[in-house]
Amino acid sequence: MVTKIIQDSQPIREERQATQDRAREGCSVGIMAYNEEANIGRTIRAVLQQQGPSVHINEVIVVASGCTDHTVPAVLEIAALEPRLKLCIQEKREGKASAINLFLKEAISPIVILIGADVIPEVSAFEYLCSPFRDPKIGMVGGRPVPVNDQRTFMGHAVHLLWRLHDRLARIHPKLGEVIAFRNVISGIPSDSAVDEISIQALISQLGYQLIYEPECIVYNKGPLTVRDFLKQRRRIYAGHLRVRDQQNYEASTMKVGGIIQQLIAYHAFTMSSPKQFIWTAGAVALEGLARLQGYYDYRSKRAHHIWQMVDTTKVLESATYKMRRICNAQSVLVFRCILEDTDRFESDLEGRERETTMIARKLLPLIRARVRKEDKLSVNGPGIITAVIRADQHGAEVVARRVQKLVEGATVRLGMRGREVKVKLAYSSLTFALKTQDGSMMVSSSSLWNVQEKM
């Protein structure tokens, strides 16, 4: 009788799963990369972890365009373990638009997503990005970039101001960038475009589809750290917008100065709440004005920008990990276990071993506490067991755990009145809790139990 029930319920489960799969949008994700060895692995892992009731990632295609660093080996290493990951190599760098056109030729899914190799999506980002496509009138959706730059500096203020104004304007008239999803209904964009998202936005809207800006789809990026890099980036973008206006008869909402001024005034709590903020805002406006003048000159002189000059200071997201942890909505629990290298002394003395590992954990606690954020919670929870509760996604928690592991295994702990030296290994396990979808459901993920660093 039991067997019959199981057999009868199996087709029902399969039919329910098939119905759920049909409701999910199949997506091809494109990552365009030029010398992105510092970020590509982290971005790919974050993309592959994206899931939800509205999104199913069929494939992730990395287009490595003229890379001269270790971007290609880094991608191949992940691809060896992940069948959804594909690599396309352009031997010569031909510009991002050319790389996107190659991706569009390879993409098989009805929905395609473009994300930069130096952009990290929030846990539920793609779910918010793809859920609007249930409406057949929607042709393109864009997310909200959040910079990880330090707002306490002038350049950090300028970058945050730029993206906050972008957010406010995009909520009125969609202007999409950094991460976009659109229906796979175009064969390509002009190969000389320096602003690919606007070129795609023009084509999709001209096909009669609606555009949506989804502020709940959050991705993290890093803006320029120097005035020189800021001008280089903004100059290229403005020149590109002018070219799209002429070539494709389409103008981005951020081109209109009047709307920007209105938002500057409306957002006075950030732009001018103190004398320092007022001065920094005025400086940022002056830099943007100068960049637009330079971009206009480039446009008039027909200077090409489709093969970008790399903006170096935007490329090291890892150095801003602590800021990304601060604004991450995931929380992780790390459990560390101290393992004595010399266990022979306690072969028949379990109580003595537990007592010593407890002393070691208490000795290590201040060492670890000095290397984590103030709001991270640390405690000793048993013989040789240290628990940390941190704000980080699964990959961020792994990064923190490996750093703590390396720190502890490189340290020497002294015990007793004579200061006897003790060497320990540190194993760890992690558990991550994160909001998954709009309905507030929770996603739980974990690392393999008790990761121990191998020593040759």
pLDDT tens across 147-206, in order? 888 888 999 999 999 999 999 999 999 999 889 999 999 999 998 888 999 999 999 999
368: nearest Cα among 397, 336, 332, 396: 336
Structure tokens at 94: 């031909």
pLDDT of 437 over the 90 cut = no
Q: What is the pLDDT of residue 343?
A: 58
Other Cβ atoms less than 10 A from the Cβ of 247: the count is 13
Q: What are the C-alpha distances in Å from 289 to residues 176, 193, 232, 282?
A: 21, 22, 13, 11
pLDDT tens across 128-145, in order? 999 999 999 999 999 999
Between residues 454 and 274, which one has the greater pLDDT? 274
Other Cβ atoms less than 10 A from the Cβ of 298: the count is 20
d(C-alpha 113, C-alpha 179), whole Å: 7
d(C-alpha 199, C-alpha 147), whole Å: 23
What are the b/e assignments for 21-60, b being 16+ CB within 10 Å? eeebbbbbbbbbbbbbbbbbbbbbbbbebbbbbbbbbebb
Other Cβ atoms less than 10 A from the Cβ of 287: the count is 18
d(C-alpha 105, C-alpha 100), whole Å: 9
**Mean pLDDT rounded to a whole number for the chain:** 83
d(C-alpha 449, C-alpha 1), whole Å: 38
SS3 446: strand
- Domains of the chain in start order, with CATH, are 23-321 (3.90.550.10), 328-452 (3.30.70.270)
Average pLDDT for residues 218-228, to the nearest whole number?
90
Average pLDDT for residues 381-410, to the nearest whole number?
84
pLDDT of 21 over the 50 cut = no
Terminus-to-terminus CA distance in the chain, angstroms? 56
Sequence-distant (6+) residues with CB within 8 A of 153 are: none
Identify the band that residue 112 occupies on the pLDDT scale cut at 50, 70 and 90. Answer: very high
Q: For residues 43 and 122, is the Cβ–Cβ distance under 8 A?
A: no
Largest Cα–Cα distance in the chain? 84
Identify the band that residue 443 occupies on the pLDDT scale cut at 50, 70 and 90. Answer: low
Identify the band that residue 450 occupies on the pLDDT scale cut at 50, 70 and 90. Answer: low
pLDDT of 10 over the 50 cut = no
Q: What is the pLDDT of residue 238?
A: 93
Q: What is the pLDDT of residue 6?
A: 33
258: nearest Cα among 319, 316, 173: 173
Between residues 364 and 322, which one has the greater pLDDT? 364
Average pLDDT for residues 342-357, to the nearest whole number?
70
Q: What is the pLDDT of residue 4?
A: 35
Q: Locate the DSSP E strands across 366-412.
A: 377-382, 385-390
pLDDT of 320 over the 50 cut = no
Structure tokens at 363: 């000795």
d(C-alpha 265, C-alpha 255), whole Å: 17
Proportion of the chain above pLDDT 90, given as a percent: 43
pLDDT of 256 over the 90 cut = no
**Phi and psi at residue 435, to the nearest 5°:** -65, 135
Q: What is the pLDDT of residue 162?
A: 93
Average pLDDT for residues 255-274, to the nearest whole number?
86
Q: What is the pLDDT of residue 369?
A: 84
Average pLDDT for residues 377-396, to the nearest whole number?
83
pTM for this prediction: 0.68
Q: For residues 264 and 166, is the Cβ–Cβ distance under 8 A?
A: no
Average pLDDT for residues 250-269, to the nearest whole number?
87
pLDDT of 18 over the 80 cut = no
